[in-house]
Structure 1
Amino acid sequence: MPDQHVAGLLRQQVSRRLRHFVLSTALWRRRAPIWLAAVLIGCTAFVFSTGSNWAHILFEAAYAHSPYWSLLITPCGLGLSVFLLNRYFAGAVGGGIPQAIAALHPGTLVLRERLLTLKAALGQVLLTLIGISSGATFGYEGPIVQVGAAIKYSLNRGAAIKNEGTSRSLILAGAAASVAAAFNAPLAGIVFAIEEMSHAFDQRATSTILLSVIIAGLTAMSLEGNYNYFGITSVTLDLRHGWIAMPVCGIAGGLIGGLTARIMLKLSANLPGPFHRLRQQNPILFAIACGIAIAAIGIMAGGITFGTGYWRAREIILQGGDGLEAYGPLKWLTMLISFISGAPGGTLAPSLAVGAGIGLNLASLMPDLPQTAIILLGMVAFFSGMTRAPMTGFVIVMEMSDSSSMIIPLMASALIAANLSRLISRKALYGELGYMLLRKARREEAQIDQLRRDT
């Protein structure tokens, strides 16, 4: 009798352990694709960063040989990018962030199946690097948001299709991990997911976002080292004497940033007269024309406007930017032309570069204050005014300063700029671009359904 009792207890214990093992194995199977996707996002950030650097080096070498090479490279690069986009990678359209925002909306399964595929992710990587290597004002920090969301969604597609909440969590986690890995700023990735993507704190997605940010950030750091995007600068701003810099930079950044967002939204919908017809009927030729304009501006400016703007912004921050007084307005112009060209590429990093140029101009109006501090305030103000994401901009720029005295000025300038830009552009740039894409997709779906009913 005791032997039977002991045997029964042993069977119960073995049964419990087997159940625990089976459940643990199932849990690991569910979580492994999420972890793998985060690792791939970190690797993608490294590919983007390395490819962008090589693209810059090669373009600069060609420009140094003869500035007029840009009249061939830039138009052909943008034309090739649009050709490949229309022919092979339709899901890689745009700057990446609006596409991820559009895919967040419920009932967008068809749109997700087009934008959040591995083919679309590959297309974004390839076409963005082509655009950067052509000398256009593009960055990879926007496209990587769509790439990260696509990787997360594709590797967990079965669970995403079954549950809308899971799908949303995966897209948010992919976006957050991408920004964190691209800027080497984990906090910026989390804030970006809350502020720009979801516009609210999603408690269900918290663990997935945090885990993805950590894994993607560690992967990117292990491949590229613990780098800082625009470098580290030691700067302080005495608020007793320098308080005026906060409203000046905030107002200037908010006005220019809000105007930029309004212009970009307007040009996304309709270009003036014949330009709109040309973009609709012959997008490749239109992209080539945009490339010629970008190359002409670059040649007249001595080559300072080509590329993402990363290197020039770094030069302005760390070296003072002597001779770059015209950089801000000219870079702003090439960013707009690159944006309307139709070639895939982001405006996140270029907006920071434009802000650095604006900050340099504002610093000349306040010669008694530290120039680097004014430049940082200009960066965060223009970024916040254009994107209306003040906390994301503040966190990204904050990590460039090792002084705690800059925290309050950066926050104040960002908030002034973001709120002032609302008076000029009622709609946030990336959010409205996402809605435009969503409306277009739903119109196309309605037309297809109508054709099916008619037949």
Structure 2
Amino acid sequence: MTSQTYKTLNQWWDFRLKLYGEGIFTGLLTSFVIVCFRFSLEKAELFRTKVFLFAQTKNHGVLVLWFIALILIGFLLGKLTQWEPLASGSGIPQVKGVLLGKIKTNWLSVLIVKFWGGLLAIGAGLSLGREGPSVQIGAAVGQGMSRLLGRLRIEERYLITCGASAGLATAFNAPLAGVIFALEELHKNFSPLVLTSAMVSSLTADFISQQFFGQKPIFSFHNLPVLPLNYYLYLIVLGLMMGAFGVFFNYSLIKISNLYKKIKYLPKTLIPLIPLAFAGILGLVLPEVLGGGHKIIESLIQNIFSFKVLLLLLAVKFLFTMASYGSGVPGGIFLPLLVIGALAGKIYGIAITHYLSADPMFLNNFIVLAMAAYFTAIVKAPVTGSILITEMTGSFNHLLPLITVSMTAYFVCDLLKSEPIYETLLGRLLPAKGKLDSASEKGNKVLLEIAVSLGSKVAGKKIRDLIWPYHCLIVGIKRGNSEIIPTGDTVLFPGDYLIVLSNQDKMPEVRESLTKMCSECSKFLNESDSSNP
């Protein structure tokens, strides 16, 4: 065994004992950074509100100064994203790419650009959310901690996951959603190590966040009644509608992004001026759509808007979100899409109340349910969506209707063959940005952890009877609390976790091949292929 291989294996087993402590420390560091980010955003949004209040008093000088400031902000955003392209957009696709080994990032430049770029873009009024930047900032903190401590790349992936989970937990006061997001969206499998490390990191981050922002949920849905079973038909119809609407959101977002790329009369560094010009105008005529839109949801709870105004807000918020995110400036889509979902849910609730004689006391239920369904339709993460909305509203009494409406929306997306938005964005990102430099990574060894799923090609078979990818070696199997040193006669079972040694430069290909072999549908696909000559 070479010294590099021995070092990799030896540090891997030692690292597992230190993972809890490093997860807590990562959550601690991430929470302080995101608390500063949230606090700065609140001050920026308060300042923006005061500017437009002055403008409404015919103080044209303030308005002129604000539009000049928007031009400067647009120029700065263009320069920042040119300096660090991987800090543009949501940041979640970039984190997924890093975890898959398909993207290489500079954690410090990403951290700086994402923090200040997100603050400028959202603070200026673009329809973007803080959660995407929070996830990527947290991931950068975890990666930076790994690099400063000299950790292995496999260890780095866990710390990146810890930081990303802590970032989401701090952004929304939702520690469970941060953990489930790591499992369902970032890793796409249930790993005990990911679960435990992300859990301690998210809980630590949420504890620190609550010291600054209090223990209240993000949205104040007080005394929300439990939806009766005879209303579940309305619920399923809502899920069908939100599923189709989510597919349209994903389609529109990609189309708008393509339109921005076709613009020839403006340099790329000045593209942010387009949505910022809309932000300046909308601030005068419809300021409710500026920023993430948290206040819109609070207003929906209080029944402030008329039906026609709700339709107007839905249309403008949707279009403005497309224009804002499509420009490529730093900022997420979590909160804007939740606001769009809430507006659609309110409109749906009013419609069935007026035309189908539904009880008005359940009107706010449809706001919450539509948010979960819309999130699921766009991201295709139903468990994360249900848990996130549950934590954001502060009530666990609505899990059954939340999961029901989410799975209905998910079914529609599958039926329409819609890809998860972050998968689509990652696919568009890879050809152009930050791929791994294979030559620089060729001598390094990494360890992968791959879950064996029920019904996979490898389940129930001996190791020697399977054709494994080149450039990998199975060095361990974790089965429950037991750790097995494999031989050729070792039989693999569903629920096993394969510990696989590979070269760093071959890691993306090896991971992709092993994931296909161990996924739950691989056996079915293999049998299907063999039956069709």
Instruction: Tell me if both proteins adopt one fold, taking TM over 0.5 as the criterion.
Output: yes
C-alpha displacement of 1:396: 1.7
1:290 and 2:275 are equivalent in the alignment: yes
Using a 3 Å threshold, how does the CA distance of structure 1 residues 237 and 76 change in structure 2: closer, same or farther? farther
Using a 3 Å threshold, how does the CA distance of structure 1 residues 442 and 129 change in structure 2: closer, same or farther? closer
Using a 3 Å threshold, how does the CA distance of structure 1 residues 27 and 186 change in structure 2: closer, same or farther? closer
Using a 3 Å threshold, how does the CA distance of structure 1 residues 441 and 404 change in structure 2: closer, same or farther? closer
Is the contact made by 2:86 and 2:433 (CA closer than 8 Å) also made in structure 1? no
- Give the secondary structure class of the aligned counterpart of 2:195: helix
Is the contact made by 1:262 and 1:424 (CA closer than 8 Å) also made in structure 2? no
Write the distance in 2 (CA, Å) between the matches of 1:43 and 1:31: 19
Using a 3 Å threshold, how does the CA distance of structure 1 residues 377 and 321 change in structure 2: closer, same or farther? farther
Using a 3 Å threshold, how does the CA distance of structure 1 residues 140 and 315 change in structure 2: closer, same or farther? same
1:209 and 2:209 are equivalent in the alignment: no
Using a 3 Å threshold, how does the CA distance of structure 1 residues 360 and 95 change in structure 2: closer, same or farther? same
Post-superposition Cα deviations, 1:219-263, rounded to whole Å, max 9, x if no partner, equal: 112232213112242112442442233112211211111111122
- Residue in 2 aligned with 1:305? 289
- Residue in 2 aligned with 1:118? 108
1:322-333 equivalent positions in 2, closer than 5 A: 322-323=305-306, 324-325=309-310, 326-333=312-319
- Give the secondary structure class of the aligned counterpart of 1:135: coil
Using a 3 Å threshold, how does the CA distance of structure 1 residues 93 and 26 change in structure 2: closer, same or farther? closer
Is the contact made by 1:258 and 1:422 (CA closer than 8 Å) also made in structure 2? no
Letter in 1 for 2:303: G
- Residue in 2 aligned with 1:225? 214
1:62-211 equivalent positions in 2, closer than 5 A: 62-66=51-55, 69=63, 71-87=67-83, 89-106=84-101, 108=102, 111-114=103-106, 117-157=107-147, 162-164=152-154, 166-211=155-200
Is the contact made by 2:129 and 2:335 (CA closer than 8 Å) also made in structure 1? yes
Write the distance in 2 (CA, Å) between the matches of 1:101 and 1:200: 13
Letter in 2 for 1:105: L
C-alpha displacement of 1:96: 1.4
67-76 or 40-49, which moves further after superposition? 67-76
- Residue in 2 aligned with 1:392? 384
Using a 3 Å threshold, how does the CA distance of structure 1 residues 426 and 57 change in structure 2: closer, same or farther? same
Aligned residue pairs: how many?
Answer: 412
Write the distance in 2 (CA, Å) between the matches of 1:207 and 1:90: 32
C-alpha displacement of 1:425: 5.0
C-alpha displacement of 1:47: 1.3
Write the distance in 1 (CA, Å) between the matches of 2:181 and 2:15: 31
Using a 3 Å threshold, how does the CA distance of structure 1 residues 161 and 409 change in structure 2: closer, same or farther? same
Is the contact made by 1:194 and 1:201 (CA closer than 8 Å) also made in structure 2? yes
Give me the CA root mean square deviation: 2.9
- Give the secondary structure class of the aligned counterpart of 2:372: helix
- Give the secondary structure class of the aligned counterpart of 1:181: helix
TM-score, structure 2 length as denominator?
0.71
- Give the secondary structure class of the aligned counterpart of 1:142: helix
Write the distance in 2 (CA, Å) between the matches of 1:335 and 1:439: 25
C-alpha displacement of 1:160: 7.0
Using a 3 Å threshold, how does the CA distance of structure 1 residues 402 and 223 change in structure 2: closer, same or farther? closer
The runs of 5 or more residues in structure 1 that have no matched partner are 1-24, 449-455
Write the distance in 2 (CA, Å) between the matches of 1:422 and 1:76: 43
- Residue in 1 aligned with 2:408? 416
Write the distance in 2 (CA, Å) between the matches of 1:160 and 1:279: 45
Using a 3 Å threshold, how does the CA distance of structure 1 residues 215 and 72 change in structure 2: closer, same or farther? same
TM-score, structure 1 length as denominator?
0.82
C-alpha displacement of 1:357: 1.0
Counterpart pick for 2:369 among 351, 362, 377: 377
Instruction: Percent identity, please.
Output: 24
Using a 3 Å threshold, how does the CA distance of structure 1 residues 330 and 160 change in structure 2: closer, same or farther? farther
Write the distance in 2 (CA, Å) between the matches of 1:51 and 1:371: 34
C-alpha displacement of 1:26: 10
Using a 3 Å threshold, how does the CA distance of structure 1 residues 360 and 433 change in structure 2: closer, same or farther? same
C-alpha displacement of 1:207: 2.6
More strand by share: 2
Is the contact made by 1:377 and 1:410 (CA closer than 8 Å) also made in structure 2? yes
Letter in 2 for 1:346: G
C-alpha displacement of 1:173: 1.5
Counterpart pick for 2:328 among 330, 342, 353: 342
- Give the secondary structure class of the aligned counterpart of 1:192: helix
Post-superposition Cα deviations, 1:170-198, rounded to whole Å, max 9, x if no partner, equal: 22221111111211111111111111111
Letter in 1 for 2:94: Q
- Residue in 2 aligned with 1:5? none
Counterpart pick for 2:236 among 224, 229, 247: 247
C-alpha displacement of 1:384: 1.3
More helix by share: 1
Write the distance in 2 (CA, Å) between the matches of 1:237 and 1:26: 45
Write the distance in 2 (CA, Å) between the matches of 1:442 and 1:120: 12
Write the distance in 2 (CA, Å) between the matches of 1:357 and 1:59: 23
Write the distance in 2 (CA, Å) between the matches of 1:30 and 1:417: 37
Post-superposition Cα deviations, 1:53-109, rounded to whole Å, max 9, x if no partner, equal: 11111111111111683655545433321223324x444222111111111113x4x
Is the contact made by 1:82 and 1:342 (CA closer than 8 Å) also made in structure 2? no
Post-superposition Cα deviations, 1:7-58, rounded to whole Å, max 9, x if no partner, equal: xxxxxxxxxxxxxxxxxx9999886554332111111221122112111111
Is the contact made by 2:129 and 2:336 (CA closer than 8 Å) also made in structure 1? yes
C-alpha displacement of 1:298: 4.5
Post-superposition Cα deviations, 1:327-384, rounded to whole Å, max 9, x if no partner, equal: 2221111111001122111111111111111111111211123211111111111111
Write the distance in 1 (CA, Å) between the matches of 2:235 and 2:346: 14
Is the contact made by 2:71 and 2:273 (CA closer than 8 Å) also made in structure 1? yes
Write the distance in 2 (CA, Å) between the matches of 1:384 and 1:191: 13
Using a 3 Å threshold, how does the CA distance of structure 1 residues 402 and 277 change in structure 2: closer, same or farther? closer
C-alpha displacement of 1:433: 1.2
The runs of 5 or more residues in structure 2 that have no matched partner are 1-13, 441-533
